[in-house]
Amino acid sequence: MAKTKILVTGANGYIGQHVVAHLLEQPDTQVIAADLANTGIDPRAEFLSVDVFSGDVDLYTRLGSPDVCIHLAWRDGFNHRSEYHIQSIPQHFTFIRTLLAGGLKQLAVMGSMHEVGYHEGMISEQTPCNPSSYYGIGKNTLRQVCLLLGKEFGTVIQWLRAYYLYGDDLKNHSVFTKLSEAAARGDRSFPFTSGLNQYDFQTIDELARQIAAVVQQTEVQGIIECCSGQPVRLKDKVEAFIAENGYAIELAYGAFPDRPYDSPAIWGDPTKIRQVMAAVSQEGQH
């Protein structure tokens, strides 16, 4: 029986490296890792140094004519003010439309809670979006484009909306990264906000596991909240992180004001991702 051929774009990125590793654990999967560099990609994957935004009309064939594409490629992801998030939309549109026109049957694309903008409470696929950053606007626009293209070509579209990620922190730009860097410098104090905002935290490894599970099936599609479904106070998560790593550093609460555009509490609806994980787990037992 032929293996399912899965293309991962942005495979050398923070999320991509972990997704590739999880996909390779599936015996019936062939992984094609596309990026401009392969410094952190599992060598078991087939690496292609291809510019997916080249506009090449034969790109689908050049990328191995995959059955599934997980589109993670996105520049300046940690800089929400970068104008590139807006300028790059036509490139993403051309790339995705080229793949779908070439015959791609299933497309999963990385989304973000920042598509929604300011929101208090749980986010679901029905939550209205009003993004307040270039990054959020870019992701929101791409989601709308993908869903339209999916209808046009009859392609399965799975929009993977991620939340507050941590883990493998030296490759991230989160507060956990900054804490690790401060501890390595020997800092004894770390300037902080009130820490009272509540977020949906998830390790990068768990997100990668969820993404790998989503593309194993096609029944659950559309917008999928890749989340824990549990709001946790930022101060509690950070204090636990300090304790787990044995850092001799204390948080200086109130050194920074809370940002007015940050929600007091925001988390994802885990209904669909739990359905996916249960189905894939059950399938694996047969």
- Active site residue ranges: 135
Give yes or no for a contact between 104 and 65, defined as CB atoms under 8 angstroms apart: no
Nearest to 196 by CA among 265, 243, 261, 250: 265
Rounded CA-CA distance 229/213 in Å is 17
Rounded CA-CA distance 165/60 in Å is 31
Rounded CA-CA distance 231/113 in Å is 13
E strand or H helix at 272? helix 271-285
* Sign of torsion over alpha carbons 45, 48, 51, 57: negative
Rounded CA-CA distance 223/125 in Å is 6
Torsions phi, psi for 236 (to 5 deg):
-70, -40
Q: 3-class SS at 190?
A: strand
Q: Which tokens belong to 214?
A: 């989503």
Nearest to 216 by CA among 160, 280, 282, 274: 280
Nearest to 158 by CA among 197, 198, 125: 125
Nearest to 149 by CA among 110, 107, 90: 107
